Amino acid sequence: MMSTYETLTGLVERFSPTHYEAEAVAWLVGRMLSLGFASARTDEAGNAVGTIGEGPNQIVLLGHIDTVPGKIPVRVENGILHGRGAVDAKGPLAAFVDAAAQTGLVPGWQIVVIGAVDEEGDSAGAWHAAARYHPRYAIIGEPSGWNRIALGYRGIVRFRFQARQTIGHSAAGRDSVCEMAVDFWNRLVEFCARENRAAERKFDQLTPVLQEMHSAGDGFVEKGEMSGNVRLPQRIAPERIKDVLREAAAGIGTVETEGIPLNAFRVEKSTPVVGSLLSGIRSLGGDPSFSLKLGTSDLSIVGPAWNCPMAVYGPGDSTFDHTPGECISLEEYGKAAAVLVGVLKRLTAAVR
């Protein structure tokens, strides 16, 4: 594999699904030290944290080091790196590390790179970072494409529905627990459809997602379960959806929310961070554009906490997220890293 991409390939080679990130974190800490970071360590949450410089001004580059399950053989073919996490989101994280190392020490500034754990879970790493850092500027690492800037992500409420009853004969004329679960789901879908009538953009819509459904019985009691989530637009708070879930389950079964609900979050366009990204993309001949993402990310956690100019940026095509064909163009990775070097230099030059 090409030494130019050692940070990227080294990270991707170390399979790190959520809750099993320790090996990749340890490797990244060592990699950052070898690249000249003033310090690098594993923090209390298990994040990999590297810093360059000291001073009153701080830039935080927050990526995540965990991936979804499903190991993919790591290989490079025709300039394309294949492997789990190549896009989501080790590509953006590695680009942060390489760009910070190339930028180096800037008087009056501290550049912090964080490889957060648990982003695909409950985001324990981001919650820890949100309380620990107070940056002047921040960039969140997710695959936007080297010439595109993401400005927002939707929120989420995760749920688990359960219906149970004593077993009866199938000819008794009552609904099975599976039918109860379907009834609950249909009520939820109907509510979302009504709410979406006036929302043209997907980013502004409610999206219910059914992830798992199963039933079982022991000869006396049958139980049906369903789990999923609802993606939220900015206009709808998680508490409203919790009420909707309870209403949908009324008279059928019980529903509980899981994990920490997140609000949708969108950054402003007219900030030094976005402006620097636009300039960096154009300097490499790119035609920059913006996107609003339909999923969720750590932006929704650190955005409200840090309340500073920020954006979401990183190499990779997000259509490959979580797929068996996850891969990233090494050329695109190189361009994104170069854009980030320019961004760091512009931001730090503007304030001394």
Note if 66 is an active site residue: yes
Task: Write down the pLDDT at residue 4.
Answer: 80
**Is residue 115 within a helix (H) or strand (E), and if so which, with residue range?**
strand 109-116
Task: Write down the pLDDT at residue 171.
Answer: 52
- CB of 233 closer than 8 Å to CB of 154: yes
Fold category of 3-153+264-350 in CATH: Aminopeptidase (3.40.630)
Task: Write down the pLDDT at residue 173.
Answer: 58
b/e sequence 184-207, b meaning 16+ C-beta within 10 Å: bbebbeebbeebeeeeeeebbbbb
Among 140, 125, 149, which residue's Cα sits nearest to residue 308?
140
Note if 118 is an active site residue: no
Rg (CA), the chain: 22
Q: 21, 66, 195, 222: which is the annotated catalytic residue?
A: 66
Task: Write down the pLDDT at residue 63.
Answer: 98
Task: Write down the pLDDT at residue 175.
Answer: 81
Task: Write down the pLDDT at residue 108.
Answer: 95
Say whether pTM exceeds 0.95. Answer: no
Q: 98, 118, 119, 222: which is the annotated catalytic residue?
A: 119
b/e sequence 66-90, b meaning 16+ C-beta within 10 Å: bbeeeebebeeeeeebbbbbbbbbb
Spatial separation of the C-alpha atoms in residues 150 and 98, rounded to whole Å: 21
Q: Please state the domain extents for the chain.
A: 3-153+264-350, 155-262
Rounded mean pLDDT for each run of 10 residues along the chain, 352 residues in total: 78 98 98 98 98 95 98 97 97 98 96 97 96 97 98 97 78 77 97 95 96 86 93 96 97 95 96 98 97 95 97 96 96 97 94 68
Among 131, 122, 99, which residue's Cα sits nearest to residue 260?
122
Task: Write down the pLDDT at residue 308.
Answer: 98
Fold category of 155-262 in CATH: Alpha-Beta Plaits (3.30.70)
Spatial separation of the C-alpha atoms in residues 206 and 196, rounded to whole Å: 7
**Is residue 12 within a helix (H) or strand (E), and if so which, with residue range?**
helix 6-13
| Neighbouring-strand partners of residue 217 | 222
- The single-letter code of the amino acid at 22 is A
